[in-house]
Amino acid sequence: NDIGLQVSWLAPTSSYLMFGAEVFQGNNEVLFPYIGEGEAVHNGTGSDPAGGEPFSTGLSDFHGPRVGIGWLKWAPNLWGPHAMMVGASFGTGKRQENHGDNHWLEGTGRFWGVDFVYKYDSPQAYGKGDWQVQGEYIRRTNDSELVRHDNDPPWFASRVNRVDVQDGYYVEAVYGFAPRWRAGLRWEQVGLANRSQRPNPADLREYDATSRISLMTDFNYSEFSRLRFGVGYGRYETLHDSVLDTERLWDAQVQLVVMLGHHPAHKF
């Protein structure tokens, strides 16, 4: 839950075109963490080896709204059983970080993304011959400044900046191969751009991407229930004891999906 304001506008055009914007506090957002102004206690290192001395973290108070985002959706008028929608989104906001209770960073987080979905509604019964293809790409940038470092005062004096960049995308397709039956394939990858840059050009940290491929098939028992089976294989970049490693994992899923209330067959 969050406190904010959202507005949207459906343009009076011949095709579907919607614009939207939001402003809110961002209290629960991973991209925009917020701590606020306050004090901490020395941990027995740095400028107070004895420990126990309170000091300011150097973080600012932002009373909000701290986050703003915007988006648009456009659906062209295609012929017959074809439908498509494309979209774009962006956002920016204040962010603060605390690492190890001895150094604090403050700055701005930004993201932007694009998405699409295409659907083909086959004239055959119970979804046979239906197609759906969709995908999304999103990229985020965190631009942070070190406002306090208890263990290394020279770092604090130099106001070190750090820029982190990550991105990710997915593409998936689902096909109705028989009445009530569908099959799908999904590919997703995170970290094509996965780096952390300090002021010194030599201090560039880059990490490999994480990826996953999955297959699924499901049976639509009725208009409000679905039984799904899935299997996936992932290659994950991990960090154990400051050592980068790669883990390869298989997973299998069985899901029962039940829709209650408003759904395509019944409107409440």
Would you list the domain boundaries of the chain?
Answer: 4-207
Angle at 165 between CA 192 and CA 245, to 5 degrees: 55
pLDDT in tens, 205-259: 777 889 999 999 999 988 788 999 999 999 988 777 667 788 899 999 999 998 8
DSSP secondary structure letter of residue 66 = -
40 alpha carbon, distance to own chain's centre: 31
Amino acid identity of 241? Answer: D
Nearest to 119, CA basis, from 182, 210, 200: 182
| Token reading at 64 | 């909000």
CB of 96 within 8 A of CB of 38?
no
pLDDT in tens, 8-44: 999 999 999 999 999 998 776 677 888 877 666 655 5
Is it the case that residue 187 has pLDDT exceeding 90?
yes
Is it the case that residue 115 has pLDDT exceeding 90?
yes
pLDDT in tens, 229-243: 999 999 988 777 667
